[in-house]
């Protein structure tokens, strides 16, 4: 893992079932993507979404050294404070940035209609 800190919420959900997500899992594991994950273990959205995403990455066989965790805190004004927040313009969590060869190729921000793995796989397939 590239970061010293980890997000407990990225621990794979043992209840998650890959059935029905085969295409998303194949896409996520299909290239040497780097997954940069901003979240907070205190954050309800992160608690709801990141364990399933962690399980999808695990099912895809993504090496943990290609998953970077960026734990953030919330400032009094609601802004996010943490590593690389300004560099990547992080306003909401969870945010997942997918990079290939150092270039951003997909991004999930907080709440989309689809689960993180499905949403990112759709972006990566286009």
- Residue 53: CB atoms within 10 A of its CB come to 29
Give the sheet arrangement for strand 95-100, strand by strand.
67-71, 34-39, 95-100, 103-109
pLDDT tens across 84-99, in order? 999 999 999 999 999 9
What is the DSSP-derived secondary structure letter of residue 85?
Answer: T
This prediction's pTM? 0.93
Mean pLDDT of 59-68: 95
The residues, any chain, with a CB within 8 Å of residue 16's CB and separated by 6 or more, are 51, 52, 55, 56, 59
Instruction: Write the CA distances from 27 to 22, 44, 45, 68, 124, integer angstroms.
Output: 9, 27, 24, 18, 7
pLDDT tens across 23-49, in order? 999 999 988 999 999 999 999 999 999
């Amino acid at each position: 893992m590239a970061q010293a800190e980890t997000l407990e919420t990225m621990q794979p959900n043992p209840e998650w079932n890959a059935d029905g997500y085969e295409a998303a899992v194949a896409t996520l594991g299909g290239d040497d993507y780097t997954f940069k994950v901003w979240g907070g273990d205190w954050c309800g959205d992160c608690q709801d979404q990141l364990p399933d995403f962690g399980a999808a990455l695990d099912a895809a066989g993504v090496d943990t050294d290609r998953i970077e965790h960026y734990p953030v805190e919330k400032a009094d004004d609601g802004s996010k404070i943490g590593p690389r927040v300004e560099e990547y313009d992080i306003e909401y969590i969870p945010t997942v940035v997918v990079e290939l060869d150092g270039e951003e190729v997909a991004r999930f921000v907080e709440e989309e209609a689809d689960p993180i793995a499905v949403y990112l796989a759709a972006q990566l397939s286009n």
